Structure 1
Amino acid sequence: MKETVLFLGQIIILIIIYQLSAAIVTYLHIPIPASVFGMMILLALLSKGLIHMRYIEKGAAFLNKHLAFFFIPIAVGLMTFGDLIKTTGIPLTIMIGGSSLIGLFVTASLTDRLSKKMKEHRRECA
């Protein structure tokens, strides 16, 4: 019983952060999706130690585990655009695939550079 209440509390914390971010984005007309802005708020709260990981860890793990279920409504909604997807499907697939590869390449390059710099820094400090 206690674990269920703690788990629900963690989910509620995440929902509050999202709702706060949605209100801020709407009120300030920020051109960023509320979910992305919410992740930035959560990162700031975790980085500053205002929220500890243990306060949201189980709730976030649950949501992450069942993330695929959140995409089902999107996939069903795409079915109404069948004609559009038939005509623009190949260029759209190329653009999505290309941008994904570019993002993957940039992330890998930055990770490689940062890891090399961290190794150099550790050698200098040792």
Structure 2
Amino acid sequence: MKETWKFLWQMAILAGLFWGSDWLVRAVGLPVPGNVFGIVVLFLLLLTGVIKERHISAAANFLLKHMVFFFVPVAVGLMQWGGVFYEYGWILLVAIVISAILPLLTVGLLGRALRRRARKKEGESCNPTQA
């Protein structure tokens, strides 16, 4: 019973954070969806230690484990767009492939450049002939 109350309390924290963020976005008129703003707020609260990971871990693990059920309505909704996919399918496929490859390449190249820079810096600081 104690675990059930803990889980419900954690879900209430996450739901309250979402509803509060959504309300704030609407009240202020921010050009960001409420759930995206809520994730940023949750990240900042976790980062600052206002909310500890143990305060939301059970509810977050449950939601992550059952995430596929939250995407079923989206997938069913996409079925109504069959004509668009039929007409612009190749363009959409190219856009999806490019938008998947570009971030991977960018992060890979940036990581490689930063690693080279760090190694070069280490080599300079460890070289006794450069004093």
TM-score by length of 1: 0.83
Looking at structure 2, the residues matched to 108 and 61 of structure 1 have their Cα atoms a distance apart, in angstroms, of: 29
* Alpha-carbon spacing, 1:111–1:29, altered in 2? closer, same or farther (3 Å): farther
State the partner residue of 1:28.
28
Matched residues, number: 119
- The question of 1:37 aligning with 2:37 is answered yes
Q: TM-score, normalised on structure 2?
A: 0.80
Distance 1:107 1:98 in 2: 14
Unaligned runs of 5+ in 2: 126-131
Tell me what 2:93 maps to.
Answer: 93
CA shift at 1:84, angstroms? 1.1
The structure with the larger Rg is 2
Secondary structure of 1:45's aligned partner: helix
Which secondary structure does the structure 2 equivalent of 1:51 belong to?
Answer: coil
Q: Distance in 1 between matches of 2:101 and 2:65?
A: 25
Q: Deviations over 1:34-67 (max 9, x none)?
A: 1211110001111111111100011111111111
**Deviations along 1:11-48, whole A, 9 cap, x unmatched?**
11111111111111111221112121111000111111
What are the residue-to-residue correspondences of 1:1-126 with 2, within 5 Å?
A: 1-110=1-110, 113=114
2: CA distance, partners of 1:75 / 1:2 = 36
- Secondary structure (helix, strand or coil) at the match of 1:76 reads helix
- Measure, in 1, the Cα distance between the counterparts of 2:92 and 2:25: 29
Would the alpha carbon gap of residues 31 and 109 (structure 1) be closer, same or farther in structure 2, given more than 3 Å must change? farther
Cα distance in structure 2, aligned partners of 1:9 and 1:111: 40
User: For 1:78 and 1:20, how far apart are their aligned partners in 2?
Assistant: 29
Residues in 1 aligned to 2:108 and 2:7: alpha-carbon distance in whole angstroms: 34
The CA deviation at 1:104 is 2.5
**Coordinate RMSD, CA, aligned:** 2.1
Aligned in 2, Cα 1:110/1:44: closer, same or farther, shift over 3 Å?
Answer: farther
| Structure 1 Cα separation of the partners of residues 110 and 6 of structure 2 | 37
* Greater RCO, CA 8 A, separation 6+: 1
Identity %: 37
In structure 1, C-alpha distance between the alignment counterparts of 2:6 and 2:111, rounded to whole Å: 35
Q: Which ranges in structure 1 are unaligned for 5 or more consecutive residues?
A: none
